[in-house]
Amino acid sequence: MADAPFRKILIANRGEIAIRVMRSAKELGCATVAVYSDADRDALHVRYADEAYHLGAAPPSQSYLNADKLLGVAQRAGADAIHPGYGFFAENAAFARRVIAAEITWIGPHPDAIDAMGDKIRARQAMVAAGVPVVPGGTDSIADAAAARVAADKYGLPLALKASGGGGGKGLKVARTVEELESAFSTAQREASAYFGNPTIYVERYLENPKHVELQILADKHGNVLHVGERDCSLQRRHQKLWEEAPALIPASVRAGMRAAGVQAAKAIGYDSVGTIECLVSGDAFYFLEMNTRIQVEHTVSEEISGIDLVREQILVAAGRPLAFTQAEVEARFRGHAIEVRVNAEDPAQNFRPAPGIVERYIEPGGFGVRVDSAAYPGCEITPDYDSMIAKLIVRGRNREETLARLGRAIDEFVITGVPTTLPLLRALVDFGPVRDASYGTATLEPFAATLAAAGSNGAIPALRPVTDDDTVRVEVNGRLFSVRFVDLPFPRGTARAGGAKAVPKKGGPARTSAAAAGNDVISPMHGVVVEIPVAPGATVAEGDVVAVIEAMKMMNEIRAHRSGSVATIHVAPGATVEARTPLITLA
């Protein structure tokens, strides 16, 4: 295309977001460049791109977070623009400045805006100065647990201790009592250092079960700033989203105030790309939470109700094009309702334990109003090196009732075997009362999942039990075909079956259940990296005490003692990579 905004765009990311960006780029006439690690050599984003270049080993520090290699590939490929997707370098002002210094266009906001909003303390200060309401709390960092106690006296309990450089629920801990402040501070600081290389912590009042509502911002380099509606992202586990919908069902006064404040906040920092203003809504009040200076995972639902390709607009804005529509024109386009759910390789029955492995069967749903953004396929590996997301399922309808019905039907069609997923939980949520009437908040999902898991373990509800090919057989009776699911198999998996045939072991699949203990050993239930061993040889521990912290698939997992005792032996050190069922400590 003669009017293509760029000749060639390098997408500095992987998976579904890389493919998502490439699709819009190709429609604009831009050639696309993929990058990949050793783990992603066979990934779909690599196959989809016009060109693909190897970065390095699987760990992000050696591949997707290696700035020198990314810039080297961009220059080698002759890319004149870089799109960071989300995650990795998407909100890294230093990398954005390096891209610009290399005379390559950065498809994102200007680095000063990233700096202004990337640090949560600075962002709170900027919003206070702009007259945008913030959650009651401090606008400075706290140095230790003693300072947290002072803040608790001032702002009350429960208190949220949050990483200044964080996001996505990482580096966020809640203290409900004064006694919990010290543990919450140390844990939040530990996660902040591990994930963001910045141990700075601040505090704010923790609101009980508010709605987490965010406003989609779209701005150009000519001073035009508008919103593309709001999304309700309250259904979360570990402070990370699983279900998002647009529009949010909030009071009209809150909607109007949030839209005005969000546009005002973006203008205050000279914003010039797509971005998101995140807020907490409690009753008739809303409070600024943070701004994400990037395209977000859940941008899809805003696209579905507005008919606007946000990635396309982001690319055009980066090329200097003015927005092609006004605020009034955008709002006139709003139609219907849309919901996105995240299909992750996690076990909801095991506190959302990450579950890397090989996807065996993979069949996406279809039909009117159904969209799937994914980079999965039968035989692909969900590696522990990256996020656990397999796919995003997005549905739209004329109204919320129709959209919920369509979502339930689409989840029923979605087939993924080989790894446990969030699909059973998502299907149960469709019929859950607080979801049906949209009264849910940020504290709704985890108790519901725990209730389902407990009921399932008692044999009452199998909702969270993953169904695999080993669970079912097809039987034809009198010309009618039945799928029969075994509850108690007449033989264990992997033993001889009818006719003497042996079951074929599943390639790389994780165990369906895994204990956190084996005799006197506390073992790792997953593959991951040891972040901390907070006990020493000879220390006395009680049942339930945290004895190790393991990072797996971008999530911190606390490993707890299965019984009381004293620490006889520590088998691993921080920084070590462990496999599932590796002994961590031995209790005497």
User: Is residue 480 pLDDT above 90, yes or no?
Assistant: no
Model confidence pLDDT, tens digit, residues 334-372: 999 999 999 999 999 888 988 899 999 999 999 999 999
DSSP string of 337-406, one letter each residue: EEEEEEEESEEGGGTSEE--EE---EE---STTEEEEE---TT-EE-TTS--EEEEEEEEESSHHHHHHH
Whether 495 maps to a domain, the answer reads no
Identify the domain boundary among 407, 440, 457.
457
Question: What is the share, in percent, of the chain residues with pLDDT greater than 90?
Answer: 71
pLDDT of residue 469: 57
Shared-domain flag, residues 302 and 448: yes
pLDDT of residue 201: 94
For 106, other C-beta atoms within 10 Å of its C-beta total: 22
CA-CA distances (angstroms) from residue 482 to 254, 410, 463, 476, 478? 51, 21, 20, 6, 10
pLDDT of residue 579: 77
Q: What SS3 state is found at 10?
A: strand
Q: CA 31, CA 21: separation in Å to the nearest integer?
A: 11
44: CATH: 3.40.50.20
pLDDT of residue 465: 59
Q: CA 292, CA 120: separation in Å to the nearest integer?
A: 10
Model confidence pLDDT, tens digit, residues 36-63: 999 999 999 999 999 999 999 999 999 9
143, 185 contact by CB (below 8 A): no
pLDDT of residue 576: 86
pLDDT of residue 270: 95
Record the tokens describing residue 470, joined without a space: 């080993």
Identify the domain boundary among 176, 205, 234.
205
DSSP string of 509-550, one letter each residue: PPPS---SEETTEEE-SSSEEEEE----TT-EE-TT-EEEEE
Whether 566 maps to a domain, the answer reads yes
Q: CA 121, CA 161: separation in Å to the nearest integer?
A: 12
pLDDT band at 471 (very low <50, low <70, confident <90, very high): low
Whether 352 maps to a domain, the answer reads yes
Shared-domain flag, residues 409 and 262: yes
Shared-domain flag, residues 438 and 538: no
34, 41 contact by CB (below 8 A): no
pLDDT of residue 503: 37
Tell me the average pLDDT of the chain: 89
**Candidate from 100-109, 316-325, 493-502 with smallest mean pLDDT:** 493-502
Record the tokens describing residue 46, joined without a space: 């690599």
Q: CA 245, CA 295: separation in Å to the nearest integer?
A: 16
Given the DSSP bridges, would you call strands 8-11 and 81-83 parallel, antiparallel or unpaired?
Answer: parallel
**Number of compact structural domains in the chain:** 4
Q: CA 354, CA 524: separation in Å to the nearest integer?
A: 12
**Candidate from 211-215, 329-333, 452-456, 526-530 with smallest mean pLDDT:** 526-530
Record the tokens describing residue 107, joined without a space: 């498809």
236, 422 contact by CB (below 8 A): no
Give the phi and the psi of residue 236 in degrees, each rounded to 5.
Answer: -135, 155
For 197, other C-beta atoms within 10 Å of its C-beta total: 8
Shared-domain flag, residues 270 and 322: yes
Contacts of 485 (CB under 8 A, 6+ apart): 467, 471, 472
Q: At what angle do helices 111-118 and 93-101 cross, to 10 degrees?
A: 170
Shared-domain flag, residues 430 and 543: no
Shared-domain flag, residues 331 and 388: yes
372: CATH: 3.30.470.20
Whether 122 maps to a domain, the answer reads no
Query: 574: cis peptide before it, omega within 30°?
Result: no
179: CATH: 3.30.1490.20
Among residues 445, 441, 143, 132, which one has the least CA distance to residue 289?
132
32, 7 contact by CB (below 8 A): no
Whether 497 maps to a domain, the answer reads no
pLDDT of residue 499: 35
The tokens 């691993």 sit on which residue?
A: 572
Q: CA 48, CA 521: separation in Å to the nearest integer?
A: 46
Shared-domain flag, residues 553 and 528: yes
β partners of residue 397: 337
Please indicate whether residue 194 or residue 465 has the higher confidence score (pLDDT). 194
Q: Give the mean model confidence (pLDDT) for residues 258-280.
A: 95
pLDDT of residue 213: 98
Is residue 508 left, alpha or beta, with left meaning phi > 0 and alpha meaning psi from -120 to 50? left
Whether 493 maps to a domain, the answer reads no
Q: Which domain holds residue 145?
A: 136-205
Model confidence pLDDT, tens digit, residues 519-543: 899 988 877 788 889 899 999 999 9
pLDDT of residue 492: 44
541: CATH: 2.40.50.100
Shared-domain flag, residues 184 and 240: no
Please indicate whether residue 72 or residue 511 has the higher confidence score (pLDDT). 72
Contacts of 484 (CB under 8 A, 6+ apart): 472, 473, 474, 475
DSSP string of 264-304, one letter each residue: HHHHHTT--SEEEEEEEEETTEEEEEEEE-S--TTHHHHHH
Whether 128 maps to a domain, the answer reads no
Shared-domain flag, residues 309 and 420: yes
Identify the domain boundary among 153, 182, 205.
205
Shared-domain flag, residues 103 and 144: no
pLDDT of residue 468: 55
User: Would you give the distance in Å from CA 531 to the centre of its chain?
Assistant: 20
Element (H, E) at 569: strand 565-570
User: Is residue 401 pLDDT above 70, yes or no?
Assistant: yes
User: Is residue 157 pLDDT above 80, yes or no?
Assistant: yes
Shared-domain flag, residues 189 and 244: no
**Candidate from 10-14, 301-305, 559-563 with smallest mean pLDDT:** 559-563
pLDDT of residue 581: 79
pLDDT of residue 518: 65
Please indicate whether residue 353 or residue 331 has the higher confidence score (pLDDT). 331
**Candidate from 91-100, 178-187, 439-448 with smallest mean pLDDT:** 178-187
Q: CA 121, CA 150: separation in Å to the nearest integer?
A: 18
Whether 129 maps to a domain, the answer reads no
Question: What is the share, in percent, of the chain residues with pLDDT greater than 70?
Answer: 90
416, 345 contact by CB (below 8 A): no
Q: CA 221, CA 308: separation in Å to the nearest integer?
A: 19
User: Is residue 498 pLDDT above 60, yes or no?
Assistant: no
CA-CA distances (angstroms) from residue 161 to 142, 367, 533? 9, 44, 22
pTM for this entry? 0.85
Q: CA 206, CA 160: separation in Å to the nearest integer?
A: 5
Shared-domain flag, residues 79 and 156: no
pLDDT band at 554 (very low <50, low <70, confident <90, very high): low
Please indicate whether residue 508 or residue 486 has the higher confidence score (pLDDT). 486
**Candidate from 147-161, 389-403, 448-462 with smallest mean pLDDT:** 448-462
